[in-house]
Amino acid sequence: MYMALKHSHMLFVVISGLFFLVRGSWMLMDSPMLQKVWVKVLPHVNDTLLLVCGIGLAVMTQQYPFVHAWLTVKVLLLVAYIVLGTVALKRGKTKQIRVIAFFAALACFLFMLSVARTHDPLGFLSY
């Protein structure tokens, strides 16, 4: 069960990251694709599944945010990623703000991956 949950979580992470890259590219190009209903709904479905798997893994392994430092950093980065992603894709007042938020969100996402991979709050910086 653990391996199925872990691999599902990792698959949803990849889908989430790739779809954010695509939507960010559409934002940079001012594409009308961003206004499609499926483009607005699909990320929420995927991210809900991602979160459910993450919570399941935390419970199964008994590793919790605010108890384990690496998981606390990962959750804080997730919050930053969500806020920055929202600014990048819909709430940014200007294109410049949306572009900066997009790249900052990508940085959060990548650092979150490194924290998850290393189980260290410093992620790749711990090497």
| pTM of this prediction exceeds 0.85 | yes
Comparing 126 with 57, which gets the higher pLDDT?
57
Residue type, 81: Y
| Burial class of residue 122 in the structure, from the number of CB atoms within 10 Å of its CB (0-12 exposed, 13-18 middle, 19+ buried) | middle
| Closest to 100 (Cα-Cα) out of 113, 110, 85, 112 | 85
Q: What is the mean pLDDT of the chain?
A: 96
For the segment 123-127, the average pLDDT, to the nearest whole number, is: 87
The model's pLDDT over 103-122, given as tens digits with 9 standing for 90+, comes to 999 999 999 999 999 999 99
Q: Return the percentage of the chain with pLDDT > 70, whole number.
A: 100
Domain containing 50 equals: 2-126
Judge whether residue 127 has pLDDT over 90.
no
The model's pLDDT over 39-73, given as tens digits with 9 standing for 90+, comes to 999 999 999 999 999 999 999 999 999 999 999 99
Judge whether residue 24 has pLDDT over 90.
yes
| Closest to 118 (Cα-Cα) out of 109, 126, 110 | 126
The structural domain count of the chain equals 1
Neighbours of 31 (CB within 10 A): 14
